[in-house]
Every structure is written in structure tokens, then in C-alpha cells.
């Protein structure tokens, strides 16, 4: 095998792999200083040698970097400077793009003007992908920069307490015993501030208002209005069942992360009056239907003494309360109805901190700051936890006092809203040419309804239309029109028609570029939510929350410019299966990513995102727009990408594009000439939808070597014949 890479590499530091306080960096300038790992706290700050992502643009419109910390459970990226031209955006996501968060240049400019730094929303898992994206055809301005300075990582806890915490039950345990309180608890979320530190917050009343402790989010009394950089509220963070026997992390529900927008008011008076009033991002709050799905709590004007109460929040579980360990696996929502002695939780006296405070035997822990204290008589909030108390008890701010402070700033603070729950969340990338995104439901006789207030379906003969409002590259709100159809035992139809036959249903959602050309022009992209209630025989089975990005670009135009050394390849088929080889190397850690959303994975391919069928199983899916040369009509060509190397050849002829681990591979095949060969395949079985004719197109790709950090742009010309 050729010991050289298949093409001249353009070296650039793209990926950092990090573990337990030290960086495994293949460029000395990128190595972070070693830091002593603590065993008492699970959040650690990791500085990095500053790197300007704008200077690492791999194409005209996108630069990408990856930060990984082995065993990390969340990654929060920190930027010391961001200055981007109008229309450029910063995007932080997980490798599989199961979650992605985007920030416009205007939003970032306002944050840096006020704070001088920026922390992105924490990404679950051990890897965060960050991209700087410019509109198609645009180039960075002279002063543009995006300097990644470090990250914070939350790690599995190292200290476990021998104290008994069996009285702190998963909130799912309330489903049968206290159904109304369980439903109201949907309004409680985990606040993630600065790193993974934070506490608990809860939606109040019938509008966009969140209450928590001042010490959770900070702020000064004179700062009645202020942006909150990179802070978020995590809804639906709980186990699916009561006290799961398996690892709680494996039974968590689908978390909904919504950005916090502003600090509206705060007491900022230390322990005496420890409260703050916040607002969620208005567009996300509205378009994700947060109030209809998660509801809101009601403050009580009463202050009950020796009356049963319960404390619900995101406190730490099974750890020494004096050594808080903010590990996300340990922060799922829990309820305390009794203390550690088995006695009912009550407000048993006034606090020594003053008449506006209370003391309770109900236990709290790190992360319970801001947790609501409910009356068990009427399920209204009678207090908010603020600190630890005597004998494993807690203390906090009286609910009637908080009501007196916020009642003129909150819509109906004494009125509760019951959310509907039943969240099913997905993130999807849409492009102008991509095939419909599908969602499967096992139940039959389904009906669908929009969850955003005032939205209705417009039904056509074979599909329905639904409007969403999204944020574009400039930070403006623009309409996006979706098409939706259902396929069941009765066939394909719009969402108005019902099917009396039993059987599963597939919901298809797609975007017609012509219907959105005015609001999302070429070179632009938008992000938002599309929530839909799904019922079977009139009973709610899921609130399908689709978090989406829609990108409008010219698929036939290359994103690379003349300053890049671009390798050009051609994949040509004369009607049969065809392939083109892109990688020929002795390096095991070679892989490929797409350059533009909608065409394929933008990072390492997750194992569950591969083909499973036949001789070509285990391969990565790619798609490209192609044009019928006779009719001029546009279609989608489905492709597969796969690796063959001296490891996978033993078990399977091909593998997906996930980079191999070289040490494990050599151990599996000692004494074998090591090699990696990578190809893109066009298979007839994947493209039976194409009519007869010749199709041409272009697919830009980025080939990477993960240990040398070398990258190589590739333009793959497509010439596909259907006889």
C-alpha cells in the first residue's frame, strides 16, 4: 500500500482530543497546560492555547473544530473574542447533530460588549463541534475572528456518599400517587449557567417568566434588564420510570434546551431576598410551544406552617451534600415529600435570616437552589429553596414574599398552567434538495395538530402546509413553510384525513424551496422549532418537537475558492453500481465529513446513522442534488461512503467513515501491513426513484486525518446514468 496520503494535505489543527486534565494534542501549540484533577468537584475548567477559527476556514463559508474530553458528560466552550461580519453565525453542536445551537453576529456582539466573553450552551457527551459559517459566496471581513480559549467539562463523580438518599425519589414516581403535581413539575427545569454549574428554575404564571435564586444567575440590582450569555434552561430532564434499576443515564427522557434571554429583575441582597426573574428567548419560547407543553406554576399568597410540602428540583443525588458534584447523570429531576427520617416535609419555622424566609425539614443539595416548595393541599408554590438548613433540612424565600415582588411584572403569577408533556424531540438539517424527513409512530388512527398558538394547517390534496417562524443569519424573524404528509394503511394523504385501518403511521416533513425563496434567499439559513401534537384515537401519544435548521445554497456550486488546493474526482455510473476511491493511506485514523448541512454528516458518523442492509451495510449515508440533463429537473442522488482497512477486512468488507483507533486496530491484526482505503459508492438499489436519463451534480467533501490534523478539500463530480 502507498505510505503517503492520497493527496497533498493542507495541515491545520482541527480536532483536540482531551483526557483527564491533559491534552492529547498533535500540535505543541495546541496543548493545554496539565491540570491536577480534583476528586471533589465534577466540573473542571480547561484552558486552551487561543486559536482563531476564522483563520482556519476550510472552505469559503465554514470553519470547523472539535473539542473532546474523554469521559466528559457535558462540554461548554468558552470564547475570549468573537467578531463576525453581518450574516455569519457561530454554531455549536454534538457530533451526531442530535443537538445544535446557533448564535448570530449581532447576538454575539451584544454579549461581548457587555461581558467580554462568551460561553456556549453546554453540549451533552464528551465532544462538542463548533463551526463558523458564512453565507454562500461571502468571505470574512478584515477584523473577523472567533477565538476559542477553553472549555468546561463535567465528569463522572469520584466521591460517593454513604448517606441514605432513598427518600429523594425520581419525579416519575409521582405519576400515579400525585398525578397533578407530576404534571405541574414539567414546568421545572435545570438552569445551566457559565459552565455546568447552576441550579433549578421554574416557569411562573401564564407568560414567559422564569424564577430562580439570584445566586444561581448573578446580576446587580441596578441591572434590571440584561443579556444572559450562554445560559440555558433544560426541560424534561428526568428518568422515564420510577427509580430505574439500570443506569439512570440510559433511561433519561429527551432533554429540551432553551436559551435564556434576559435578566428582568433581581433582589441581589444576599441570603435575605435571594430571587431573580428571567425570560426565555422569546422566539424559542413561542416556536417550541414551551408554555403549552411544559405549563407554568402558581405562587401562593399563603404562608403555611406545619402543613405538608414537597420540594422538587435538580439537586444532586447520592453524593455528599457538602461536596456537590454537578454530573448530568446525577441531576435528573427529583422530588422530596419526606425527610431522611421518613417524616412528612413541612415548613416548621421561620428562618434566622429574617421574616421573608422559611425553614423546612425537607432536604436540599447542590443544584436545588431555586427549587419550588409546593403545598400538598393545593399544589401552589409556597417557597423557593435557597440554601442548606439544620439537620439535613433546607431554608429559602417565602412564596408570598416573592409574589409581592413580581406580581406587577409577571402575567397571572397566581394561575397555574397544566402542560401536556409527552415530549418526543428530534433535530434535523433541511436543505433545498433533501428528501422528506420521516418520523414513525406505531399507533394507528392518528390525528395531528399544531402546538403554537394561532397556527393552523392548510390542507392540500396530498399534503398539508404549516407555517413556522425562524431566525435567519441576520437575527431577523422570517416565516418558513413546511409540507407534511402521512403514510399509513390507507396510503399517502394530507394530515386532515383519518384512517380507520390499524397499522403504523409515518409522518413526512419537507420544505419546498420555491415556497420559501422570498424569506430564505440563496446563501441564507434559518433555525427554529416545529412542534406538533400527535394523538391516537383522541389520546395524546407524543408532542413531536422538531428542532431544525434550513439552509438555502446552490448545490451545483463549489464552496471552495482558488486559495484551496482542491482534489477533483469523478464518480461515474453507466447504470450499474459504481465507486470512486478517495483515500489510500497507511493511516488508520482517516475519515470524511460533508461540508454543507443536508448533504451528510458534518462530523464523525454516529454508529446509529449507518446503513444496515446487505453487502454494503455499515456505511455512511451521503446525498447530493443532481440534475436530469434532458429535462432539467432536480433529484436527490443517494450515496454511501465506507472504509476498508486491515481491521475491518477481517470482520466485514466495509465500515463507515468513523475514524479507526490505530492502537486497537494494530492489536487486532499484528504483523499485517496496515492500510486504509476509503470510497464513495452509488448503488442502483438506493436510487430506484430516479427516472431514466443522465444525471450530473457536485458533492464537496472534506477528507481528514485525525492524528496529523491534515485536511483535504475534495470536489466529487457526479455522472449517473439510469437506463
pLDDT of residue 604: 57
For cell 394523504, the residue is 493
Strand, helix or coil for residue 212 = strand
User: What is the tens place of the pLDDT at every residue in 212-232?
Assistant: 998 888 766 555 456 676 789
Domain ranges of the chain: 10-154, 168-406, 423-551, 567-722
Closest CA to 565 of 713, 720, 719: 713
Closest CA to 496 of 542, 531, 446: 446
Q: Could you give the CA distance from residue 143 to residue 85 in angstroms, rounded to a whole number?
A: 8
Q: And the C-alpha cell for 37? A: 484533577
Query: pTM for the full model?
Result: 0.85
* Residue 445 DSSP label: S
pLDDT at 20 over 50: no
Average pLDDT over residues 49-68: 76
* More confident of the two residues 529 and 107: 529
> What is the total residue count of the chain?
723
Closest CA to 593 of 678, 707, 704, 698: 704
User: What is the tens place of the pLDDT at every residue in 22-42?
Assistant: 222 222 222 222 222 222 335
Question: Contact, 410 vs 207, CB < 8 A?
Answer: yes
pLDDT of residue 674: 57
Counting residues of the chain whose pLDDT is more than 90, the rounded percentage is 46
> What number of other Cβ atoms are within 10 A of residue 167's Cβ?
18
Could you check whether 423-551 and 567-722 share the same CATH topology?
yes
**CA 463 to centroid of chain Cα atoms:** 29
User: What is the tens place of the pLDDT at every residue in 161-176?
Assistant: 444 455 778 899 999 9
pLDDT of residue 340: 82
Q: And the C-alpha cell for 694? A: 443522465
Mean pLDDT, the chain, integer: 80
> What number of other Cβ atoms are within 10 A of residue 90's Cβ?
23
The third-level CATH classification (topology) of the domain covering 423-551 is: Immunoglobulin-like (2.60.40)
Q: Could you give the CA distance from residue 567 to residue 581 in angstroms, rounded to a whole number?
A: 12
pLDDT of residue 10: 25
CATH number of 10-154: 2.60.120
Question: Contact, 88 vs 103, CB < 8 A?
Answer: no
Name the CATH architecture for the domain at 168-406: Beta Barrel (2.40)
Q: And the C-alpha cell for 128? A: 462538542
Name the CATH architecture for the domain at 567-722: Sandwich (2.60)
* Residue 308 DSSP label: B
Task: Give the sign of the dihedral formed by CA 120, CA 121, CA 127, CA 131.
Answer: negative
pLDDT at 424 over 90: yes
pLDDT of residue 612: 59
Three-state secondary structure of 313-377: ECCCCCCCCCCCCCCHHHCCCEEECECCCCCECEEEEEECCEEEEEEECCCCCCCCCCCEEEECC
Tell me the Ramachandran region of residue 61: left when phi exceeds 0, alpha when psi lies from -120 to 50, beta otherwise: alpha
**CA 100 to centroid of chain Cα atoms:** 4
Backbone angles phi, psi at 386, to 5 degrees: -135, -25
- Which residues in 689-718 are b (16+ Cβ under 10 Å) and which e? ebeebbbebbbbbbbbbbbebbbbbbbbeb
* More confident of the two residues 702 and 609: 702
Q: Could you give the CA distance from residue 559 to residue 562 in angstroms, rounded to a whole number?
A: 10
For cell 451526531, the residue is 96
Question: Contact, 488 vs 536, CB < 8 A?
Answer: no
Band of the pLDDT at 71, cuts 50, 70, 90? confident
User: What is the tens place of the pLDDT at every residue in 352-361?
Assistant: 778 889 999 9
Q: Could you give the CA distance from residue 412 to residue 394 in angstroms, rounded to a whole number?
A: 28
User: What is the tens place of the pLDDT at every residue in 362-415?
Assistant: 988 878 999 999 999 999 999 999 988 877 789 999 999 999 999 999 999 999
Amino acid at each position: 500500500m502507498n505510505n503517503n496520503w492520497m493527496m497533498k494535505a493542507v495541515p491545520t489543527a482541527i480536532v483536540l482530543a482531551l483526557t483527564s486534565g491533559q491534552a492529547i494534542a498533535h500540535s505543541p501549540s495546541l496543548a493545554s497546560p496539565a491540570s491536577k484533577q480534583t476528586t471533589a468537584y465534577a466540573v473542571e475548567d480547561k484552558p486552551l492555547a487561543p486559536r482563531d477559527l476564522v483563520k482556519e476556514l476550510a472552505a469559503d463559508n465554514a470553519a470547523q473544530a472539535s473539542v473532546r474530553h474523554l469521559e466528559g458528560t457535558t462540554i461548554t466552550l468558552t470564547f475570549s473574542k468573537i467578531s463576525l461580519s453581518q450574516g455569519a453565525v457561530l454554531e455549536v453542536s454534538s457530533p451526531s447533530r442530535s443537538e445544535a445551537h446557533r448564535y448570530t453576529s449581532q447576538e454575539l456582539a451584544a454579549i461581548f460588549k457587555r461581558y467580554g466573553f462568551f460561553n456556549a450552551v453546554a453540549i451533552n457527551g464528551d465532544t462538542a463541534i463548533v463551526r463558523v459559517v458564512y453565507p454562500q459566496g461571502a468571505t470574512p471581513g478584515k477584523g473577523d475572528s472567533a477565538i476559542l480559549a477553553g472549555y468546561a467539562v463535567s465528569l463522572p463523580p469520584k466521591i460517593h456518599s454513604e448517606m441514605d438518599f432513598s427518600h429523594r425519589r425520581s419525579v416519575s414516581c409521582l405519576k400515579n400517587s400525585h398525578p397533578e403535581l407530576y404534571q405541574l413539575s414539567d414546568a421545572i427545569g435545570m438552569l445551566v449557567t457559565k459552565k455546568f454549574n447552576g441550579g433549578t428554575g421554574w416557569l411562573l404564571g401564564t407568560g414567559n417568566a422564569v424564577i430562580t435564586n439570584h445566586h444561581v444567575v448573578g446580576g446587580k440590582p441596578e441591572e434590571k434588564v440584561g443579556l444572559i450569555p450562554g445560559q440555558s434552561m433544560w426541560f424534561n430532564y428526568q428518568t422515564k420510570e420510577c427509580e430505574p434499576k439500570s443506569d439512570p443515564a440510559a433511561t433519561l427522557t429527551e432533554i429540551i434546551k432553551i436559551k435564556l434571554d434576559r435578566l428582568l429583575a433581581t433582589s441581589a441582597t444576599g441570603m435575605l431576598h435571594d430571587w431573580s426573574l428571567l425570560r426565555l428567548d422569546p422566539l424559542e419560547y413561542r416556536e417550541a410551544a414551551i408554555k403549552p407543553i411544559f405549563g407554568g406554576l402558581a405562587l401562593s399568597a399563603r404562608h403555611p406552617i406545619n402543613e405538608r410540602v414537597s420540594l422538587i428540583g435538580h439537586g444532586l443525588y447520592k453524593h455528599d451534600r457538602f461536596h456537590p458534584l454537578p454530573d448530568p447523570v446525577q441531576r435528573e429531576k427529583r422530588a422530596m415529600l419526606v425527610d431522611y427520617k421518613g417524616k412528612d416535609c413541612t415548613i416548621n419555622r421561620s428562618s434566622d435570616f429574617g421574616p421573608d424566609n422559611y425553614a423546612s425539614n425537607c432536604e436540599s443539595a447542590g443544584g436545588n437552589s431555586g427549587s419550588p416548595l409546593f403545598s400538598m393541599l393545593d399544589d401552589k408554590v409556597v417557597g423557593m429553596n435557597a440554601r442548606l438548613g439544620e439537620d439535613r433540612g433546607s431554608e429559602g424565600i417565602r412564596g408570598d414574599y416573592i409574589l409581592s415582588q413580581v406580581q406587577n411584572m409577571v402575567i397571572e403569577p397566581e394561575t397555574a398552567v397544566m402542560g401536556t408533556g409527552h415530549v418526543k424531540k428530534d433535530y434535523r438539517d433541511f436543505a433545498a434538495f433533501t428528501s422528506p424527513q420521516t418520523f414513525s409512530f406505531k399507533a394507528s388512527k392518528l390525528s395531528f395538530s399544531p402546538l403554537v398558538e394561532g397556527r393552523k394547517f392548510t390542507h392540500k390534496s396530498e399534503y398539508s402546509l404549516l407555517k413556522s417562524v425562524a431566525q435567519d443569519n441576520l437575527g431577523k424573524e422570517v416565516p418558513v413553510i413546511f409540507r407534511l404528509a402521512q403514510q399509513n394503511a390507507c396510503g399517502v394523504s394530507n394530515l386532515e384525513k383519518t384512517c380507520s385501518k390499524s397499522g403504523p403511521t409515518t409522518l413526512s416533513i419537507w420544505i419546498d424551496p420555491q415556497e420559501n425563496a422570498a424569506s430564505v434567499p440563496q446563501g441564507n439559513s434559518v433555525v427554529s422549532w416545529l412542534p406538533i401534537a400527535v394523538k391516537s384515537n383522541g389520546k395524546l401519544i407524543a408532542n413531536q418537537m422538531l428542532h431544525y435548521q434550513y439552509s438555502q445554497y446552490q448545490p451545483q456550486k463549489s464552496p471552495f475558492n482558488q486559495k484551496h488546493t482542491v482534489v477533483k474526482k469523478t464518480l461515474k455510473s453507466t447504470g450499474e453500481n459504481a465507486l470512486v476511491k478517495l483515500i489510500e493511506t497507511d493511516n488508520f485514523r482517516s475519515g470524511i465529513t460533508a461540508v454543507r448541512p443536508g448533504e451528510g454528516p458534518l462530523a464523525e458518523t454516529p454508529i446509529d446513522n449507518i446503513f444496515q442492509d446487505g453487502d454494503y451495510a455499515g456505511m455512511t449515508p451521503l446525498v447530493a442534488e443532481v440534475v436530469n440533463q434532458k429535462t432539467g429537473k432536480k433529484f436527490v442522488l443517494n450515496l454511501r461512503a465506507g472504509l476498508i482497512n486491515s481491521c475491518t477486512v477481517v470482520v466485514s468488507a466495509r465500515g463507515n467513515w468513523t475514524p479507526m483507533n490505530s492502537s486497537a486496530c494494530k492489536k487486532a491484526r499484528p504483523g499485517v501491513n496496515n492500510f486504509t482505503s476509503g470510497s464513495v459508492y452509488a448503488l442502483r438499489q438506493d436510487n430506484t426513484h430516479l427516472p431514466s436519463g443522465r444525471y450530473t451534480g457536485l458533492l464537496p467533501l472534506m477528507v481528514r486525518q485525525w492524528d496529523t490534523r491534515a485536511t483535504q478539500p475534495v470536489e466529487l463530480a457526479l455522472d449517473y446514468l439510469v437506463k
